[in-house]
């Protein structure tokens, strides 16, 4: 099925470990995003990529890096995980459908626990 | 700065009754889009309904309708004939300004449908 695929779905890390969250979309969307969701906080933007080869910081970028490997893939890397990064991470992609209307598709999320 | 406010952390509704979930927004852009998403306990983000700032009529999608009051900057979600399966978190979101195009989310409302 067409959509956004995130891996892994669950991960437990020890403080200081590193890992990369993978995201791929097969809808030929230009824009891709990484969000984190914490209880009572809604979804907050970590990084986004408006097109292949470009990335920009969002609201909460500290402690993260991203790579837009190609049009399909947008990865999120934690270099040295901290307990404050325990969260659910969502990848999303978007494209203009009709003029100003944008369609957004979300992955199923990665639940990350840092101990 | 753009902002979405959802003032109801939790709501209860009786099965088969209608319920309104509140959302107010703040933006200086004349062109914007407003979205509602449902997040069941399984965690995925499910798109419900979209309203464009220039749309003349309120959006409707099945049992979902959006009560859009532009002058008051409100975009309330109305769910008619509530079902047990409607129990979930509901997020109001707005498309950000500029080229990044990310969604800005409210903190959400947890809806519980009582049998």
pLDDT tens-digit map of A68-115: 989 999 999 999 999 999 999 999 998 865 555 567 899 999 999 999
Q: Is residue A1 pLDDT above 70, yes or no?
A: no
Chain A environment of B110 (Cβ under 8 Å): none
Q: Ranked by mean pLDDT, which of A5-19, A101-115, B28-42, B83-97 comes out on top?
A: A5-19
Looking at residue B30, its pLDDT comes to 85
Alpha-carbon distances, residue A66 vs A46, A47, A73, A101, B100 (angstroms): 9, 7, 10, 27, 15
One DSSP character per residue, B29-46 reads -SS-EEEEEEE-TT---E
Chain A environment of B93 (Cβ under 8 Å): 43
* Mean pLDDT in residue range A1-23: 94
> Shortest Cα distance from B107 to chain A (angstroms)?
4
Structure tokens at B115: 């049998």
Cα A35 to Cα A73: distance, rounded to the nearest angstrom: 15
Looking at residue B41, its pLDDT comes to 94
State the best of B38, B101, B104, B108 to mutate against chain A, taking most chain A CBs within 10 Å: B101
Q: Is residue A34 pLDDT above 60, yes or no?
A: yes
- B47 vs A58: CB contact, 8 Å cut-off? no
Total CB pairs under 8 A between chain A and B: 58
Q: DSSP letter at B62? A: T
Residue pointed to by tokens 């409607």? B86
């Amino acid at each position: 099925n067409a959509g956004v695929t995130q891996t892994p779905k669950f991960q437990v890390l020890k403080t200081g470990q590193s890992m990369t969250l993978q995201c791929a979309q097969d809808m030929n969307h230009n824009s891709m995003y990484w969000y984190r969701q914490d209880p009572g906080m809604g979804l907050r933007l970590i990084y986004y990529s408006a097109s292949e080869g470009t990335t920009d910081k969002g609201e909460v970028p500290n402690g993260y890096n991203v790579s837009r490997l190609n049009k399909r893939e947008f990865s999120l890397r934690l270099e040295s995980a901290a307990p404050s990064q325990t969260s659910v991470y969502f990848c999303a992609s978007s494209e203009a459908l009709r003029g100003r209307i944008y369609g957004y598709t979300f992955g199923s999320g990665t639940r990350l626990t840092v101990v | 700065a753009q902002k979405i406010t959802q003032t109801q952390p939790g709501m209860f509704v009786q099965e088969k009754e209608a319920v309104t979930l509140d959302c107010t927004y703040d933006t200086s852009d004349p062109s914007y889009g407003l979205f509602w998403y449902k997040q069941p306990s399984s965690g995925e983000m499910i798109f419900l309904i979209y309203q464009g700032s220039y749309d003349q009529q309120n959006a409707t999608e099945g049992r979902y309708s959006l009560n859009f009051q532009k002058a008051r900057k409100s975009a309330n979600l109305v769910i008619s004939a509530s079902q047990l399966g409607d129990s979930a978190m509901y997020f109001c979101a707005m498309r950000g300004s500029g080229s990044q195009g990310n969604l800005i989310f409210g903190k959400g409302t947890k809806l519980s449908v009582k049998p």
